[in-house]
Structure 1
Amino acid sequence: MAVQFLTRVPVPWLARLDGARAGDAFVRSTGWLPLVGTAIGIVTATVFALGQLWWPPLVALLVALAVEAWLTGAFHEDAVADFCDAFGAARDAETTRRIMKDSRIGSYGALGLGLAVALRVAATLAVPGSVGLYAIVAAAGIARWCAVLLMAMAPPAATGEGVAKDIGRLPRRSFWLAAVTVLPAIGLLAAGGRWTASVVLVVISLMLVWIARGIRRRIGGSTGDCLGFAAYAAQILVLLVVAGA
């Protein structure tokens, strides 16, 4: 279920589940999101590494990100645009929720998404040598873990819809399972330096506290777009920390 949720990879046997079993499986799958995210990072890093056999690093990275967008359906990028539009253009809860549900992208969303992708590209290219490949994989896994953490820190808004509402209050078992499935990603960072891994954990913790406080104050809790924005922001922060280490 986690694979189907985060990617376009077909999982045909899930069609045999009825509505109740599928809903229960979806809630329990949240604990596996960091591991699936790490797998997505492996695909992106592999395409980036192979692409550099033919093209300059910038071209290879853009191709890798294009492949990733196809693989994931630009899942988190869409959330970034919606989040930036809603929280940039609105000041009250009702307008914020209305803009977030709108499929159109405004100036805040376009600028926010453009800067987010540009920051991700720049930070990745700033990481030296083969460390960049490890950083891509680690950032992808930790990013999905941050979405799970935000579910625990900011339960879904009472009037919200979508992924956060479907999951509801994060089960304790899923919270601890996510803490285990993110270990491969954290281990990659720690292999490059314990100090770097420690700084990453501190930075993303501060980011999550800031986002959780902001969305609780503005709309009363989290939505799917809030979770997706947090994941993408965490991915960028991991890369920025590694690049500056």
Structure 2
Amino acid sequence: MRILQRELYAFLGAIRFFTRIPVSNRVPHSPEQLNHAARYFPAVGIIVGLVSAIAFSVASVFFPEAVCVVIAMATSIYITGAFHEDGLSDMTDGLGGGWDKARILEIMKDSRVGSYGVIAIAMTLLAKFTLLSALNASWMPLLLVAGHAFSRYCAVLVMAGMTYVREDALSKAKPLATQLTRNALIVASAFGLLPLLLLPVSASLAGVCLGLLITIWLGRKLQKWLGGYTGDCLGATQQLSELAFYLGVLAVIQ
């Protein structure tokens, strides 16, 4: 019973950390809980994908598909508080405007948004809208669930394979864990990969390949300039791998 309660608290802690969904104050909140909750990052993606899929399905009764895609995207941004989009913006500003590790981290910590960050968010949202609008509406609910789950799994892979580099207490986006155990990675893999079964095998494989490629590319870039990752980098990984996943699926399904 204690194990089940601990896992439930970890799951609810991940929901509280990554979304706006209300969670009872009785759920403990501590660095230890956040560390344990990292395994449920992809599970949170399933929830975000489900809510977005429901929003798309309900909107499709009244509006054209393009409008429904916008509503689904807006729903996912609202439910997460633009948490990952903010990370993409900060990381892009840092890598675009910094010339060494210290300066990059300083820019990423700045709450102001620069031109690199604005362009990154605008281009990512535009690309996501274009890709989703190009797909048949019947695939949309399944694609949203699989895409949100898998992209968060890519962020977990970054956490598992790289070193957390920000040591100051002023970090705006701290990760849930700086190291993952083997059991945590197994749990994250289950939640991140099982939703792929909702799609045709060839489409899932294409999406996974592109998602992993962009994750590896970004990881190498982060290793070169930072020697590891920050919380903002995890948000950027989620956004870019989600986009790459949709691109791969579109190439096969179309």
TM-score, normalised by the number of residues in structure 1: 0.91
Match of 1:49 in 2: 57
Cα distance in structure 1, aligned partners of 2:238 and 2:175: 17
Cα distance between partner residues in 2 of 1:166 and 1:42: 23
Aligned-partner residue type, residue 21 of structure 2: V
Asked if 1:223 is matched to 2:210, the reply is: no
Q: 1:94 to 1:5 in 2, by over 3 A?
A: same
Alignment of 1:1-245 (within 5 A): 1-14=13-26, 17=28, 22-157=30-165, 159=167, 161=171, 163-164=173-174, 167-189=177-199, 193-245=200-252
CA offset at residue 157 of structure 1?
Answer: 1.0
> Aligned partners of 2:35, 2:176: CA distance in 1, in Å?
8
Any unmatched runs of 5+ in structure 2?
1-12
The change in CA–CA distance for 1:166 and 1:244 in structure 2 (over 3 A counts) is closer
C-alpha displacement of 1:162: 5.4
2:209·2:248 contact (CA, 8 Å) conserved in 1? Answer: no
Structure 1 gaps, min length 5: none
Q: Give the TM-score taking structure 2 as reference length.
A: 0.88
- TM superposition shift of 1:231: 0.5
CA distance in 2, matches of 1:185, 1:55: 27
For 1:4 and 1:11, how far apart are their aligned partners in 2?
6
Q: Which secondary structure does the structure 2 equivalent of 1:88 belong to? A: helix
Counterpart CA distance in 1 for 2:103 and 2:48 is: 34
- Per the TM alignment, residue 133 of structure 1 is displaced from its structure 2 partner at its CA by 2.0
Deviations 1:171-220 (A, max 9, x none): 2221111011223322123xxx2122222222222222211111111112
Task: Assess, with a 3 A threshold, how the Cα gap between structure 1 residues 37 and 165 changes in structure 2: closer, same or farther.
Answer: closer
Asked if structure 2 preserves the Cα contact closer than 8 Å seen for 1:128 and 1:243, the reply is no
- Relative to structure 1, is the Cα distance of residues 198 and 170 closer, same or farther in structure 2, using a 3 angstrom cutoff? same
**Where do 4+ consecutive residues of structure 1 move more than 6 Å?**
none
1:153 is displaced (CA, Å) by 1.6
The AA in structure 2 aligned to 1:173 is N
The alignment's C-alpha RMSD in Å is 1.7
How far has the Cα of 1:243 moved from its partner?
A: 1.4
- 2:8 matched residue in structure 1: none
C-alpha distance in 1 between matches for 2:74 and 2:174: 27
> Conserved in 2, the CA contact under 8 Å of 1:45 and 1:64?
yes
Letter in 2 for 1:227: L
Asked if 2 retains the 8 angstrom alpha-carbon contact of 1:6 and 1:36, the reply is yes
Partner-residue secondary structure (3-state), 2:137: coil
Contact 1:58–1:125 (CA under 8 A) maintained in structure 2: yes
| Alpha carbons 1:31, 1:174 under 8 Å: kept | yes
CA distance in 2, matches of 1:234, 1:208: 6
Q: Deviations over 1:64-86 (max 9, x none)?
A: 22222221111111111111111
Cα deviation for residue 113 of structure 1 reads 0.3
